[in-house]
Chain A
Amino acid sequence: MANYILKPFISEPKLTVACPPYWHCNKTVTTIMRDFLLALIPAAVMASAQFGFAAARVMALAGAIAVLTEALCLKIMARDVSVDDYSALLTGLLFAFLLSPSAPWWLVTVGSSLSVLLGRVFFGGLGGSPLCAPLVAWAVCKISWPRAMDVDLSMLDSELVYPLGQLKYLGPEVVSHVNHINLLLGKQLGGLGSAQIIGIVLGGLYLILRKHIRPHIPLAFLAGMYITAWIHFLIDPTQYAGPIFHLLAGSAVYGAFFLATDYASSPVGHIPMILFGLIAGVLVIIIRAYSVHPDGVPFAILLANLLTPLLDRIRPKPFGGQKIDLLHP
């Protein structure tokens, strides 16, 4: 029947009607996520070279579990199964980068599925998470299974040391002789990918060049860390480590480029982004200096995430200078 009706018009092209603009920058979720995955490759390769099969195993398992969890959830919710946009894979890998290469399979599985479930699905999927998804899972695991998540404890057979653990338990005197080049090359314990500093920096610069992230948050984050650590160091060098050590040890650079810049959980304006980065960076050093946690990055970013809605209210006046009351929306 339908064919019969349409027949007289078959020679006529049927145009697509759309709303403007008709051009587009051609950046889609898929291309953005693919670039994020590309940006993770240097650190992933370095981690695999350093820890061998163990690291590759954790990354593969975390990525697969994240994609499976997302697909299952979307299926249950009768939504389009859009796991082919790589975003769930990215969430899983970002989580894996924070784990130790010796992490047991059940920890990887539980953590990776939680990062998708608790971090994303519960809040409406990609773009809805109020907190950085991999960090939510990391925090749950860290508090639930502190021994399994302890980098030092789980890697006793490694020749490498955990510099932040040394700083926490042995004092700054011990780490004052740590070679910064070694830290840069990832010769330290920490998250399997997050401690591969040079690889992470390369990936982060790639993301900035491709304009997927803006330099505001990473730079402000690192500046906040540097300034706070420097002030502490000036006050008492025998009690606090120097700023360069803090930047190169643990997951500071990883947090600055990959976690704090998470789209949904970070603010969008220029000034809010800078403030967000500064606050997170300052919190990292405060946590490292005064809390029981050796690496303050995950908790610092989670805390700063909570400030995002507040920071987003700092807005320039719209064109024409009319007053807008964002405080009472």
Chain B
Amino acid sequence: MRVSGAILVNFRRYPNFRLGAETDGLIRDIPVPDELHLPLDGHVPVVARGQKVNAGAEIAEHPALQEGTLHAPSAGKVLQVTDTHISLKTDGETGQTPTIDRPDIAQDEDPLQVLRKLGITIGGLNGSEFLILNGLNPEPGISVCDQLLRDHLDTVERGFLLLQKFVSPSETILAVSQDNKVGLTGARTKHLNPFYPGSLAPVLVKNILGRENLQNVTVVGVLQLYAIGRVMETRQPLTETIMTIGRGNYRVKIGTPVRSILHHVEQSVNTGDRVILGGPFQGRAVYSLDQGVDKNTYGIFVVPQGSYPPVRDTNCLNCGECVLHCPARILPNMIGRCVEFNLFEKTPRYGISACFECGLCGYYCPVRRPLLQYIRLAKKELAVRNKQLTPQLDMT
């Protein structure tokens, strides 16, 4: 195994690629802070400054038909509405008002839209031959998925039962790590070596079905299943996320500022540190401790200053490490060079469309070129250019 070999030889600080983390086995609540900062990702606010909202009230909608609606996690007053977030002053009341009166979402005419209205992102949940339930933790250092499968299997199962109705697969496979003993009725359990990037959908499909083609396959993560199950159980909109911080897993209201979370878990942050929302390979670095977490945040990492060599815009060493480690078999080195000279139209020749942004190129680059960033920039530029070429017919 490549990774364990690396650890044997490079016994200094070689981070583990193992998916999962040691946990203390509990999911604890982080109390609702005085102020919530709900990040907007293309959502359109439906509340105005100064307005009072109830817990569970809609505060922003998404124009795209598959993105979930945003709800107030707690009753309070809207402090601020900007392009990036909605700030809410909570009044301490977290008692939620049930927003669905139907007994069972599954009986509804259009259950997907009901789910969307309840805050679930429904993109990709359409009919497929194969349904793969991804029970692997998304990134190293994250243990949420294992924890949910162990402690809240009933909720996950509830989500799965509903999902089966939309996807109606001929075969369902639950992918879990080798040492995980759970199973779901109606799904074949597949035990996998829990190593990154094995948790990413393309690699997962390849490891299970043996093909590099995502057609007719729906991959749904356990976090998503849990969210659906939770919404059905509580009959209230989704306003929380489960995340790993260090050795513990926490239930956090969306919009909770990073500052409150770190304060609660007694993690100090110093100038120059990086605070990451998500995982160490694909997460986002926050610019301010006031930033709130969103529905998809599954972890918080603090990377102290000086832990790793800084990212620099230096010339390529031509060592080929990025190419040899790339699971998508593309040429990140050449893409990086094209992007530096704004030659975005050349990047498809080096396989940019096959990239699934695992971040291993940047992990291995000895001169710390921001390779994943270059690839993302090129993808974005190409998308913009394609959009300009094909006229947009409907803007929903």
Contact = CB atoms under 8 A, between A and B. Distances in A.
A70 to B, nearest CB: 14
B287 interface: yes
A53 B213 CA distance: 64
B309 interface: yes
Interface residues of B, number: 71
A28 B368 contact: yes
Contacts of B310: 18
A23 B354 CA distance: 23
Interface stretch (A168-176, A218-226, A320-328): A320-328
B311 A263 contact: no
A54 interface: no
B269 A263 contact: no
Interface stretch (B148-156, B182-190, B315-323): B315-323
B263 interface: no
Contacts of A263: 317-320
Interface residues of A, number: 47
Interface in B282-299: 282-289
A315 B330 CA distance: 9
B260 to A, nearest CB: 15
B111 interface: no
A210 B329 contact: no
Given A15-B285, A26-B12, A263-B318, A268 B366 contact: no
Dominant secondary structure at the B interface: loop
A256 B13 CA distance: 30
Interface stretch (B48-56, B93-101, B230-238, B271-279): B271-279
Given A13-B273, A21-B363, A26 B308 contact: yes
Given A13-B289, A318-B330, A29 B14 contact: no
Given A19-B370, A21-B280, A269-B324, 16 more contacts: A16-B273, A21-B372, A25-B15, A25-B364, A28-B366, A29-B367, A125-B315, A127-B316, A263-B318, A268-B319, A268-B323, A318-B353, A320-B214, A321-B212, A325-B349, A326-B350
**What are the 10 closest A-B residue pairs judged by CB atoms, nearest first?**
A268-B320, A318-B351, A318-B354, A21-B359, A19-B373, A319-B328, A127-B317, A24-B308, A264-B318, A319-B354
Interface of B: 6, 9-10, 12-15, 140, 202, 206, 212-214, 269-276, 280-289, 301, 303, 305, 308-311, 315-320, 323-324, 327-331, 333, 346, 348-351, 353-354, 356, 359-360, 362-364, 366-368, 370, 372-373
